[in-house]
Amino acid sequence: MHDFLITPFSFGFMQRGLLSAVLLSLSGGLLGCILVMRRLALMGDALSHSLLPGIGLAWLLFGPSTLALFFGALVAGLLTALGSAFLSRLTRVKEDAAFGSLFIIFFGAGVALVSKLPTGLSLSHVLFGNILVVGPSDLAVSAVVSSTTVMVFVVFYRSILLETFDPIFYRAVGGHSGLVHFGFLALTVLNLVAALQTMGVVLALGLFLLPAVSAYLWCDHFARMLVLSVVFGVVSSVAGILLSYHAGLASGAAIVLCLGVVFFASALFSPTYGLVGRCVRGLRERQAVRKHPG
Amino acid sequence: MSLSPVSSEPHSILRFSHLSVRYGRTLALDDITLDIPCGSSTAILGPNGAGKSTLLRAILGWQPSATGEIRLGDAHPQHLLPRLAYLPQRHMIDWDFPITVRAVVEQGRYPSLRLFRQLGPDDRTRVDRALQELGLTDLAGRQIRMLSGGQQQRVFLARALAQGADIFLLDEPFAGLDLFATEELTHILRAWEAQGRTVLAVVHELELARRGFTRGVLLDTALVAAGPIAEVLSPANIDRAYRRGRCAHDNPLHLASTTEFPR
């Protein structure tokens, strides 16, 4: 037991990987709830794919500097978001189609760039995550991004709730709707970039989305959904890192698998919104009708 | 000391003077001059695209006016946002949102809370009172999907009350309500008017407007008529607003132009 749970974390890289994953599941769980409730899940996924060329270019120009990678990804993400907004305003192409087209072009360009790079940046590491490369500076970035996100959520909880639930009401009482929306997008990009090392471009959004959808199946209070989402994220990150160590899996894939288990368990067994509960209630109703017809 | 006689003319709470609003090149509201008396219930009527919702949005300051201005009492409405409550159309709300009736009504208190402040005892009392007035006390712990359409509408009315507003802007509040819920809402709005609250609602059904509101504003981009509902909804006015003076037998869409009738 000790060998299974504790020994892996005697290695420095495992400690850093674990810490980074846990930190990002704190903020990712929170952001994921907003993504889910505002129906931006697919947009977030597209956004994370589009970060790839930014990372590739930054690597090409500045080498493996965390800060450069960070800004490269940020610029790529912003270009996709703003570019699709412009495209949909100026042509007849609708926002979702514009976003879908742009992100796939960006992703293609990214794959081309990364696979042709002379440096040792491995495509599979960028796509699916590798905790071996989480250095002390990456950990610092994760810590800053995560604590900023958590702080923003604590301080502006009410504004975030109003903007998510009823943006029209929020505007009507004098809230700055655009500011909250932009802040949310910026935080999402920041967290995606910070999660790249452990989760990879393709799987990073899993750390945001899956705990949030799972929590959504259990809760009727927004605050509780946020907390539960974070709990799901943290537990799955720890389990996933262990799984990746023992099974030799990419860390991103291992964490997403653990989150997947949580999600399916929630979808099946959540008392109010799960499938099993629903079937049981349906059966009971039918029996009641049979016993007391009319 | 002399007592001044109480004026029988109620003073106006909202004054529109020569208000015009444009969306790009299209004129949405054309030179509206209009007074809304304090404590009245007013139905805003008119054909599609007449600028009914635009009028509400202009009051909230979401539509910059091309010309003219709106005054709330002596101030611009933007300075008195807490007095205004806006009710969104029902389809704008995600009814599966993880939130209870009470939590929605509490949102009415959010605008008056400072950062880092929690709801105080005074806020709680206001929320309790709003829930009670609209008969939602027993439903306070329910998720909002688990309510009937009329109850759902009442939740948002309660949030407006908890906000402490006295002017209520309702965008198509009757859309999607069944007969019973419609009656109930009419009743509530009547009671609010009796309590001196000012209600402005976008209404589509003329019959409903006649029964539920004392005053009416008939729009067709420009103001067609305003005043007591019976006068506003005279056949001549309705004809002007909805048919733009065309005869009912005119056939603007040429629907049956190829039909040959047997002689």
How do residues A172-207 score in pLDDT, each as one tens digit? 888 888 888 888 888 888 888 888 877 888 888 889
Rounded to 5°, the CA angle A183-A188-A192 comes to 150
Mutation site for A-interface testing, chosen from B90, B94, B99 by largest number of A Cβ within 10 Å: B99
Question: Which structure tokens are listed for B29?
Answer: 């509201």
- Mean pLDDT, chain B, rounded, equals 84
Q: Which residues of A touch B92 (CB under 8 A)?
A: 166, 168
Q: Which residues of A touch B107 (CB under 8 A)?
A: 161-162, 165-166, 169
Q: How many CB pairs under 8 A join A and B?
A: 61
Q: Would you say residue B68 has pLDDT above 60?
A: yes
Contact residues, chain B to chain A, C-beta under 8 Å: 60, 62, 78, 81-82, 84-86, 88, 92-94, 97-100, 103-104, 107, 110-111, 113, 115-116, 143, 159, 163
Number of CB atoms found within 10 A of residue B82's CB: 15
Q: Give the per-residue pLDDT at A52.
A: 87
Q: Give the per-residue pLDDT at B137.
A: 93
How far is residue B4 CA from its own chain's centroid? 34
Provide the whole-model pTM. 0.84
Asked if residues B20 and B31 have their Cβ atoms less than 8 Å apart, the reply is yes
Instruction: Express as a percent the part of chain B with pLDDT over 90.
Output: 33
State the residue for tokens 């219930």. Answer: B41
Angstroms from A220 CA to nearest CA on chain B: 4
CB within 8 Å of A65: residues ≥ 6 apart: A58
The ipTM is 0.84
Angstroms from B128 CA to nearest CA on chain A: 19
Q: Give the per-residue pLDDT at A27.
A: 94
Domain that holds residue A149: 2-291
Q: Give the per-residue pLDDT at B6.
A: 53
Q: Which residues of B touch A169 (CB under 8 A)?
A: 86, 88, 107, 159
Q: Which residues of B touch A164 (CB under 8 A)?
A: 97
Residue type, A249: L
Cβ distance A219 to B85 less than 8 Å, yes or no, reads: no
pLDDT in tens, A202-216: 888 889 999 999 999
Q: Which residue has the higher pLDDT, A6 or A51?
A: A51
Asked if residues B102 and B127 have their Cβ atoms less than 8 Å apart, the reply is yes
Q: Which residues of B touch A225 (CB under 8 A)?
A: 98
Q: Would you say residue B257 has pLDDT above 70?
A: no
Q: Which of A169, A171, A225 sits opposite B62 (nearest CB)?
A: A171
What CATH code is carried by the domain that includes residue A28?
Answer: 1.10.3470.10
Angstroms from A201 CA to nearest CA on chain B: 29
Q: Which residue has the higher pLDDT, B67 or A215?
A: A215
Q: Give the per-residue pLDDT at A248.
A: 85
Contact residues, chain A to chain B, C-beta under 8 Å: 37, 155-156, 158, 161-162, 164-166, 168-169, 171-175, 216, 219-222, 224-225
Angstroms from A157 CA to nearest CA on chain B: 9
Q: Which residues of B touch A221 (CB under 8 A)?
A: 98-100, 103
pLDDT in tens, B70-110: 888 777 776 677 788 888 888 888 999 999 999 999 999 98
Angstroms from B203 CA to nearest CA on chain A: 19
Q: Which residues of A touch B88 (CB under 8 A)?
A: 166, 168-169
From the list B12, B80, B188, B193, the residue with the least C-alpha distance to A172 is B80
- Tell me the mean pLDDT in the region B138-155: 92
Angstroms from A219 CA to nearest CA on chain B: 6
Minimum Cα–Cα distance from A213: chain B residue: B98
Cβ distance B107 to A162 less than 8 Å, yes or no, reads: yes
Q: Which of B81, B92, B100 sits opposite A173 (nearest CB)?
A: B81
pLDDT in tens, B6-15: 555 567 888 8
- CA B205/CA A79 separation, integer angstroms: 47
First-to-last CA distance in chain A?
59
Q: Give the per-residue pLDDT at B246.
A: 56
Least confident of A18-32, A208-222, B44-58: B44-58
- CA A83/CA A215 separation, integer angstroms: 33
| Number of domains, chain A | 1
Q: What is the DSSP string of B1-13?
A: --PPPPPSSPPEE
Q: What is the 3-state secondary structure (H, E, C) of A72-131?
A: HHHHHHHHHHHHHHHHHHHCCCCHHHHHHHHHHHHHHHHHHHHHHCCCCCCHHHHHHCCH
Residue B1 binned pLDDT confidence (cut-offs 50, 70, 90):
very low
Instruction: Express as a percent the part of chain B with pLDDT over 70.
Output: 88
Asked if residues B31 and B16 have their Cβ atoms less than 8 Å apart, the reply is no
Element housing B169 (H / E)? strand B167-170
- CA A136/CA B142 separation, integer angstroms: 47
Number of CB atoms found within 10 A of residue B31's CB: 16
Element housing A202 (H / E)? none
- Tell me the mean pLDDT in the region B5-26: 77
From the list A135, A139, A131, A92, the residue with the least C-alpha distance to A255 is A131
From the list B183, B150, B154, B180, the residue with the least C-alpha distance to B87 is B154
Residue A266 phi, psi (nearest 5) = -65, -45
Cβ distance B110 to A155 less than 8 Å, yes or no, reads: no
